[in-house]
Amino acid sequence: MTESRTTAAHGGAIGLHGIKKWFGNFQAVDNVTLDIRPNEFFTLLGPSGCGKTTLLRMIAGFEMPTEGQVLLDGSDISGLLPNQRPVNTVFQNYALFPHLTVAENIGFGLKMLGRPKAEITSVVNDMLKLVHLDGRGHNPVTQLSGGQQQRVALARALAPRPKVLLLDEPLSALDLKLRKSMQIELKRLQLETGITFVFVTHDQEEALTMSDRIAVMSAGTVRQVGSPWDIYDRPAERFVADFIGETNFLSADVVSVADNRARVRLSSGAEISASFPADVTPNGSVTVVVRPEHARAGAPTGTSALRGVVHDIVYLGTDTHVHVRLDDGTAFMVRQQNARSGHCGFSKGDTVGIDFSDDVAQILRD
Protein backbone atom coordinates (compact mmCIF):
# COMPACT_ATOMS: atom_id res chain seq x y z
CA MET A 1 0.00 0.00 0.00
CA THR A 2 2.66 2.44 1.07
CA GLU A 3 4.65 1.46 -1.96
CA SER A 4 1.99 2.42 -4.45
CA ARG A 5 1.50 5.78 -2.74
CA THR A 6 5.17 6.78 -2.82
CA THR A 7 5.40 5.43 -6.33
CA ALA A 8 2.73 7.76 -7.54
CA ALA A 9 4.52 10.63 -5.84
CA HIS A 10 8.08 10.14 -7.11
CA GLY A 11 9.61 7.11 -8.67
CA GLY A 12 9.43 6.66 -12.42
CA ALA A 13 9.49 3.42 -14.36
CA ILE A 14 12.15 2.98 -17.01
CA GLY A 15 11.60 0.70 -19.95
CA LEU A 16 14.46 -0.29 -22.22
CA HIS A 17 13.06 -2.03 -25.26
CA GLY A 18 15.29 -3.80 -27.77
CA ILE A 19 18.21 -1.44 -27.20
CA LYS A 20 21.18 -1.78 -29.52
CA LYS A 21 24.14 0.57 -29.58
CA TRP A 22 27.01 0.58 -32.03
CA PHE A 23 30.12 2.74 -31.75
CA GLY A 24 31.56 2.41 -35.23
CA ASN A 25 32.24 -1.30 -35.62
CA PHE A 26 31.95 -2.03 -31.91
CA GLN A 27 28.62 -3.15 -30.52
CA ALA A 28 28.41 -1.87 -26.96
CA VAL A 29 24.84 -2.97 -26.29
CA ASP A 30 23.22 -5.95 -27.96
CA ASN A 31 19.45 -6.11 -27.85
CA VAL A 32 18.79 -5.28 -24.21
CA THR A 33 15.24 -5.29 -22.90
CA LEU A 34 14.75 -4.35 -19.26
CA ASP A 35 11.89 -3.05 -17.18
CA ILE A 36 12.90 -1.05 -14.15
CA ARG A 37 10.01 -0.67 -11.72
CA PRO A 38 8.99 2.57 -10.06
CA ASN A 39 10.60 3.20 -6.70
CA GLU A 40 13.12 0.39 -6.88
CA PHE A 41 16.85 0.31 -6.35
CA PHE A 42 17.98 -1.30 -9.58
CA THR A 43 21.61 -2.19 -10.26
CA LEU A 44 23.38 -2.81 -13.55
CA LEU A 45 26.27 -5.07 -12.58
CA GLY A 46 29.06 -6.30 -14.79
CA PRO A 47 32.76 -6.11 -15.64
CA SER A 48 34.10 -3.00 -17.35
CA GLY A 49 33.16 -2.79 -21.01
CA CYS A 50 29.96 -4.81 -20.57
CA GLY A 51 27.78 -1.89 -21.70
CA LYS A 52 26.28 -0.93 -18.33
CA THR A 53 27.48 2.67 -18.43
CA THR A 54 26.35 3.02 -22.04
CA LEU A 55 22.85 1.92 -20.98
CA LEU A 56 22.88 4.48 -18.16
CA ARG A 57 23.97 7.24 -20.53
CA MET A 58 21.15 6.34 -22.88
CA ILE A 59 18.65 6.76 -20.03
CA ALA A 60 20.25 10.13 -19.20
CA GLY A 61 20.20 11.16 -22.86
CA PHE A 62 23.97 11.51 -23.42
CA GLU A 63 23.87 8.69 -25.95
CA MET A 64 21.18 7.79 -28.44
CA PRO A 65 20.40 4.11 -28.97
CA THR A 66 21.18 2.90 -32.49
CA GLU A 67 18.02 0.84 -32.26
CA GLY A 68 15.29 0.48 -29.66
CA GLN A 69 13.37 2.70 -27.31
CA VAL A 70 13.87 4.26 -23.90
CA LEU A 71 10.56 4.69 -22.06
CA LEU A 72 9.83 6.72 -18.96
CA ASP A 73 6.51 5.84 -17.33
CA GLY A 74 5.43 4.36 -20.62
CA SER A 75 6.22 7.29 -22.91
CA ASP A 76 9.11 7.26 -25.35
CA ILE A 77 11.89 9.67 -24.30
CA SER A 78 14.47 8.40 -26.81
CA GLY A 79 14.38 11.66 -28.77
CA LEU A 80 14.64 14.05 -25.81
CA LEU A 81 17.80 15.98 -24.92
CA PRO A 82 19.33 15.39 -21.46
CA ASN A 83 17.93 18.70 -20.17
CA GLN A 84 14.42 17.67 -21.24
CA ARG A 85 14.40 14.44 -19.21
CA PRO A 86 13.25 14.38 -15.56
CA VAL A 87 16.23 12.20 -14.79
CA ASN A 88 19.42 13.25 -12.98
CA THR A 89 22.86 11.67 -12.80
CA VAL A 90 25.50 11.29 -10.10
CA PHE A 91 28.73 11.15 -12.07
CA GLN A 92 31.65 8.88 -11.33
CA ASN A 93 34.01 11.82 -10.79
CA TYR A 94 31.15 13.87 -9.27
CA ALA A 95 31.52 16.66 -11.90
CA LEU A 96 30.81 19.39 -9.36
CA PHE A 97 31.02 22.93 -10.73
CA PRO A 98 34.32 24.18 -9.28
CA HIS A 99 33.40 27.87 -9.58
CA LEU A 100 30.23 27.53 -7.49
CA THR A 101 29.65 27.03 -3.77
CA VAL A 102 28.08 23.92 -2.26
CA ALA A 103 24.66 25.59 -2.15
CA GLU A 104 24.95 26.93 -5.71
CA ASN A 105 25.87 23.47 -6.94
CA ILE A 106 22.88 21.90 -5.23
CA GLY A 107 20.53 24.63 -6.45
CA PHE A 108 21.81 24.56 -10.04
CA GLY A 109 19.09 22.32 -11.46
CA LEU A 110 16.25 24.27 -9.86
CA LYS A 111 17.78 27.54 -11.04
CA MET A 112 17.93 26.26 -14.60
CA LEU A 113 14.29 25.24 -14.28
CA GLY A 114 13.51 28.86 -13.38
CA ARG A 115 12.16 28.13 -9.90
CA PRO A 116 11.70 31.08 -7.53
CA LYS A 117 14.65 31.97 -5.29
CA ALA A 118 12.80 31.26 -2.04
CA GLU A 119 11.95 27.75 -3.19
CA ILE A 120 15.53 27.08 -4.27
CA THR A 121 16.86 28.24 -0.89
CA SER A 122 14.48 26.03 1.06
CA VAL A 123 15.10 22.95 -1.10
CA VAL A 124 18.86 23.49 -0.88
CA ASN A 125 18.61 23.68 2.92
CA ASP A 126 16.57 20.48 3.02
CA MET A 127 19.11 18.77 0.79
CA LEU A 128 22.04 19.93 2.93
CA LYS A 129 20.32 18.34 5.94
CA LEU A 130 19.49 15.18 4.01
CA VAL A 131 23.15 14.59 3.18
CA HIS A 132 24.48 15.86 6.54
CA LEU A 133 26.19 18.96 5.21
CA ASP A 134 24.20 21.56 7.19
CA GLY A 135 26.07 24.84 7.48
CA ARG A 136 28.45 23.97 4.61
CA GLY A 137 26.36 25.73 1.97
CA HIS A 138 28.74 28.64 1.51
CA ASN A 139 31.90 26.56 1.21
CA PRO A 140 33.56 26.27 -2.18
CA VAL A 141 33.20 22.68 -3.35
CA THR A 142 36.92 22.46 -4.01
CA GLN A 143 37.59 22.59 -0.27
CA LEU A 144 35.53 19.48 0.53
CA SER A 145 36.85 15.97 1.07
CA GLY A 146 36.04 13.21 -1.42
CA GLY A 147 33.19 11.87 0.71
CA GLN A 148 31.68 15.32 1.14
CA GLN A 149 31.95 16.03 -2.59
CA GLN A 150 30.17 12.76 -3.19
CA ARG A 151 27.31 13.88 -0.94
CA VAL A 152 27.09 17.26 -2.69
CA ALA A 153 26.86 15.43 -6.01
CA LEU A 154 24.02 13.33 -4.60
CA ALA A 155 22.20 16.35 -3.19
CA ARG A 156 22.62 18.23 -6.47
CA ALA A 157 21.07 15.35 -8.43
CA LEU A 158 18.24 14.86 -5.92
CA ALA A 159 17.32 18.53 -5.48
CA PRO A 160 15.18 18.86 -8.64
CA ARG A 161 13.21 15.75 -7.52
CA PRO A 162 13.93 13.65 -10.60
CA LYS A 163 11.73 10.67 -11.36
CA VAL A 164 14.82 8.54 -11.73
CA LEU A 165 18.29 8.99 -10.27
CA LEU A 166 21.17 7.50 -12.24
CA LEU A 167 24.37 6.63 -10.38
CA ASP A 168 27.50 5.87 -12.41
CA GLU A 169 29.90 3.97 -10.11
CA PRO A 170 29.66 6.84 -7.62
CA LEU A 171 31.48 5.05 -4.82
CA SER A 172 34.51 3.82 -6.73
CA ALA A 173 36.70 6.79 -5.77
CA LEU A 174 36.09 6.40 -2.03
CA ASP A 175 38.11 4.32 0.40
CA LEU A 176 36.64 1.10 1.77
CA LYS A 177 35.26 2.43 5.04
CA LEU A 178 33.62 5.45 3.46
CA ARG A 179 32.27 3.25 0.71
CA LYS A 180 30.54 1.00 3.24
CA SER A 181 28.89 3.89 5.03
CA MET A 182 27.86 5.49 1.73
CA GLN A 183 26.20 2.21 0.71
CA ILE A 184 23.94 2.43 3.74
CA GLU A 185 23.46 6.14 3.12
CA LEU A 186 22.41 5.59 -0.49
CA LYS A 187 19.90 2.94 0.47
CA ARG A 188 18.45 5.27 3.13
CA LEU A 189 18.18 8.16 0.63
CA GLN A 190 16.43 5.92 -1.84
CA LEU A 191 13.87 4.80 0.74
CA GLU A 192 13.36 8.33 2.07
CA THR A 193 12.93 10.02 -1.29
CA GLY A 194 11.04 7.21 -3.02
CA ILE A 195 12.93 8.00 -6.23
CA THR A 196 13.83 5.14 -8.58
CA PHE A 197 17.60 4.58 -8.39
CA VAL A 198 19.50 3.03 -11.29
CA PHE A 199 22.96 2.17 -10.05
CA VAL A 200 25.91 1.08 -12.18
CA THR A 201 28.77 -0.86 -10.61
CA HIS A 202 31.29 -3.60 -11.21
CA ASP A 203 31.40 -4.35 -7.47
CA GLN A 204 29.24 -7.38 -6.68
CA GLU A 205 29.21 -6.68 -2.97
CA GLU A 206 27.85 -3.16 -3.54
CA ALA A 207 25.18 -4.60 -5.78
CA LEU A 208 24.13 -7.29 -3.31
CA THR A 209 24.06 -4.86 -0.37
CA MET A 210 21.85 -2.13 -1.84
CA SER A 211 19.77 -3.45 -4.68
CA ASP A 212 16.16 -4.52 -4.85
CA ARG A 213 16.98 -6.12 -8.19
CA ILE A 214 20.16 -6.64 -10.15
CA ALA A 215 20.77 -7.08 -13.86
CA VAL A 216 24.04 -8.91 -14.48
CA MET A 217 25.57 -7.85 -17.78
CA SER A 218 28.31 -9.24 -19.98
CA ALA A 219 29.49 -8.20 -23.46
CA GLY A 220 26.55 -5.89 -24.12
CA THR A 221 23.86 -8.33 -23.06
CA VAL A 222 21.84 -8.90 -19.89
CA ARG A 223 22.61 -12.38 -18.54
CA GLN A 224 20.20 -12.49 -15.61
CA VAL A 225 17.80 -10.20 -13.78
CA GLY A 226 16.66 -10.88 -10.23
CA SER A 227 16.83 -10.08 -6.55
CA PRO A 228 20.24 -10.30 -4.87
CA TRP A 229 19.11 -13.65 -3.50
CA ASP A 230 18.18 -14.93 -6.98
CA ILE A 231 21.44 -13.78 -8.45
CA TYR A 232 23.58 -15.23 -5.71
CA ASP A 233 21.77 -18.43 -4.84
CA ARG A 234 20.07 -19.21 -8.13
CA PRO A 235 22.54 -18.14 -10.84
CA ALA A 236 21.18 -19.11 -14.23
CA GLU A 237 24.47 -19.54 -16.00
CA ARG A 238 28.17 -19.95 -15.54
CA PHE A 239 29.07 -16.29 -16.11
CA VAL A 240 26.71 -15.11 -13.38
CA ALA A 241 27.75 -17.83 -10.93
CA ASP A 242 31.40 -17.07 -11.57
CA PHE A 243 31.12 -13.27 -11.49
CA ILE A 244 29.24 -13.11 -8.19
CA GLY A 245 31.06 -14.59 -5.24
CA GLU A 246 33.01 -17.81 -5.20
CA THR A 247 31.48 -21.05 -6.28
CA ASN A 248 32.04 -24.73 -7.04
CA PHE A 249 31.17 -26.21 -10.41
CA LEU A 250 30.31 -29.93 -10.54
CA SER A 251 29.37 -32.01 -13.54
CA ALA A 252 26.31 -34.22 -13.08
CA ASP A 253 23.73 -36.26 -14.97
CA VAL A 254 20.02 -35.59 -14.73
CA VAL A 255 18.11 -38.58 -13.37
CA SER A 256 14.59 -37.19 -13.12
CA VAL A 257 12.69 -33.90 -13.07
CA ALA A 258 9.59 -33.18 -11.00
CA ASP A 259 7.94 -30.05 -9.57
CA ASN A 260 10.72 -27.54 -10.37
CA ARG A 261 13.33 -29.85 -8.80
CA ALA A 262 15.67 -32.24 -10.50
CA ARG A 263 17.47 -35.33 -9.18
CA VAL A 264 21.02 -35.38 -10.48
CA ARG A 265 23.77 -37.95 -10.08
CA LEU A 266 27.22 -36.56 -9.25
CA SER A 267 30.44 -38.16 -10.48
CA SER A 268 30.81 -39.78 -7.06
CA GLY A 269 27.61 -41.67 -7.69
CA ALA A 270 25.66 -39.78 -5.03
CA GLU A 271 22.27 -38.35 -6.01
CA ILE A 272 21.23 -34.90 -4.90
CA SER A 273 18.30 -32.60 -5.56
CA ALA A 274 18.90 -29.36 -7.48
CA SER A 275 16.84 -26.41 -8.68
CA PHE A 276 17.10 -25.00 -12.20
CA PRO A 277 16.23 -21.83 -14.17
CA ALA A 278 12.50 -21.55 -14.98
CA ASP A 279 13.05 -21.44 -18.76
CA VAL A 280 15.08 -24.66 -18.86
CA THR A 281 14.12 -28.34 -18.81
CA PRO A 282 17.31 -30.06 -17.69
CA ASN A 283 18.34 -33.35 -19.24
CA GLY A 284 21.51 -35.26 -19.99
CA SER A 285 24.74 -33.99 -18.51
CA VAL A 286 24.60 -30.62 -16.77
CA THR A 287 26.73 -28.36 -14.59
CA VAL A 288 25.65 -27.88 -10.99
CA VAL A 289 26.89 -25.11 -8.70
CA VAL A 290 27.21 -25.20 -4.91
CA ARG A 291 28.39 -22.15 -2.92
CA PRO A 292 31.37 -22.92 -0.64
CA GLU A 293 29.50 -21.81 2.50
CA HIS A 294 26.67 -24.24 1.72
CA ALA A 295 28.94 -27.26 1.91
CA ARG A 296 30.27 -29.04 5.01
CA ALA A 297 33.44 -31.08 5.24
CA GLY A 298 33.83 -33.87 7.75
CA ALA A 299 35.09 -37.37 8.25
CA PRO A 300 34.07 -39.43 5.19
CA THR A 301 31.03 -41.63 5.66
CA GLY A 302 29.23 -44.00 3.33
CA THR A 303 26.55 -41.36 2.67
CA SER A 304 28.86 -38.42 1.88
CA ALA A 305 27.85 -36.72 -1.37
CA LEU A 306 31.48 -36.16 -2.37
CA ARG A 307 34.88 -37.42 -1.25
CA GLY A 308 38.30 -35.89 -1.67
CA VAL A 309 41.69 -35.01 -0.24
CA VAL A 310 42.46 -31.68 1.47
CA HIS A 311 45.26 -29.94 -0.42
CA ASP A 312 45.15 -26.46 1.10
CA ILE A 313 43.71 -24.67 4.13
CA VAL A 314 43.44 -20.87 4.11
CA TYR A 315 42.64 -19.10 7.36
CA LEU A 316 40.76 -15.78 6.82
CA GLY A 317 39.84 -14.71 10.34
CA THR A 318 36.08 -15.06 10.19
CA ASP A 319 36.23 -18.09 7.88
CA THR A 320 38.52 -20.88 6.86
CA HIS A 321 38.66 -22.04 3.25
CA VAL A 322 39.26 -25.76 2.89
CA HIS A 323 40.41 -26.61 -0.65
CA VAL A 324 39.67 -30.20 -1.57
CA ARG A 325 40.69 -32.23 -4.64
CA LEU A 326 37.71 -34.52 -5.33
CA ASP A 327 38.19 -38.16 -6.31
CA ASP A 328 37.39 -37.30 -9.96
CA GLY A 329 40.02 -34.54 -9.93
CA THR A 330 37.67 -31.54 -9.65
CA ALA A 331 38.65 -28.73 -7.29
CA PHE A 332 36.10 -28.01 -4.56
CA MET A 333 36.15 -25.39 -1.83
CA VAL A 334 34.34 -25.48 1.51
CA ARG A 335 33.98 -22.33 3.57
CA GLN A 336 33.69 -22.93 7.29
CA GLN A 337 32.81 -20.24 9.73
CA ASN A 338 35.31 -20.08 12.56
CA ALA A 339 32.78 -20.37 15.37
CA ARG A 340 35.41 -21.50 17.86
CA SER A 341 38.97 -20.36 18.05
CA GLY A 342 41.72 -22.72 16.99
CA HIS A 343 42.31 -25.24 14.29
CA CYS A 344 39.62 -26.14 11.75
CA GLY A 345 39.99 -29.84 12.39
CA PHE A 346 41.71 -30.87 9.15
CA SER A 347 45.25 -31.07 7.92
CA LYS A 348 46.62 -31.20 4.39
CA GLY A 349 46.38 -34.69 3.00
CA ASP A 350 43.33 -35.70 5.05
CA THR A 351 40.60 -37.53 3.23
CA VAL A 352 37.24 -35.81 3.82
CA GLY A 353 33.61 -36.29 2.95
CA ILE A 354 31.57 -33.33 1.73
CA ASP A 355 27.87 -32.91 2.34
CA PHE A 356 25.30 -30.24 1.62
CA SER A 357 21.59 -29.91 2.19
CA ASP A 358 19.18 -30.69 -0.59
CA ASP A 359 18.11 -27.17 -1.57
CA VAL A 360 21.51 -25.51 -2.19
CA ALA A 361 22.50 -26.94 -5.56
CA GLN A 362 21.56 -25.14 -8.77
CA ILE A 363 21.68 -26.41 -12.34
CA LEU A 364 23.10 -23.91 -14.87
CA ARG A 365 21.74 -23.16 -18.29
CA ASP A 366 24.21 -24.50 -20.88
Residues engaged in binding another protein (CB under 8 A): 60-62, 81-83, 87-89, 91, 93, 95-99, 108-109, 112-113, 156-157, 160
Exposure on the CB side of residue 8, measured as CA atoms within 13 A? 4
- C-alpha 68/C-alpha 102 separation (Å) is 38
Whichever of 113 and 314 has its CB closer to another protein, that residue is 113
Beta strands in 316-360 (DSSP E): 319-326, 331-337, 351-356
Shortest reach from residue 81's CB to another protein, in Å: 7
Shortest reach from residue 140's CB to another protein, in Å: 13
Please write down the HEC assignment for all residues of 185-243: HHHHHHHHHCCEEEEEECCHHHHHHHCCEEEEEECCEEEEEECHHHHHHCCCCHHHHHH
DSSP sequence for 245-275: S--EEEEEEEEEEETTEEEEEETTS-EEEEE
Whichever of 93 and 285 has its CB closer to another protein, that residue is 93
Whichever of 23 and 229 has its CB closer to another protein, that residue is 23
Look up residue 257 and give its amino acid: V
Going 66 to 70 to 76 to 77, the CA torsion angle's sign is: negative
Shortest reach from residue 23's CB to another protein, in Å: 12
Whichever of 174 and 225 has its CB closer to another protein, that residue is 174
| Pairing verdict, β 319-326 and 75-76 | unpaired
Shortest reach from residue 345's CB to another protein, in Å: 54
The phi-psi region of residue 17 (left if phi > 0; otherwise alpha if psi is between -120 and 50; otherwise beta) is beta
Shortest reach from residue 29's CB to another protein, in Å: 19
- C-alpha 200/C-alpha 44 separation (Å) is 5
Shortest reach from residue 206's CB to another protein, in Å: 21
How far CA 46 is from CA of 22, 89, 212, 354, in Å, comes to 19, 19, 16, 32
- C-alpha 331/C-alpha 266 separation (Å) is 14
Whichever of 56 and 286 has its CB closer to another protein, that residue is 56
Whichever of 142 and 347 has its CB closer to another protein, that residue is 142
Whichever of 60 and 70 has its CB closer to another protein, that residue is 60
Shortest reach from residue 21's CB to another protein, in Å: 16
Shortest reach from residue 133's CB to another protein, in Å: 18
Whichever of 98 and 317 has its CB closer to another protein, that residue is 98
- C-alpha 297/C-alpha 353 separation (Å) is 6
Shortest reach from residue 91's CB to another protein, in Å: 5
Task: Judge residue 294's burial from the number of C-beta atoms within 10 Å of its C-beta, 0-12 exposed, 13-18 middle, 19 or more buried.
Answer: middle
- C-alpha 162/C-alpha 196 separation (Å) is 9
Whichever of 54 and 248 has its CB closer to another protein, that residue is 54
12-39 b/e (C-beta count within 10 Å ≥ 16 → b): bbbbbbebebeeeeebbbeebebebebb
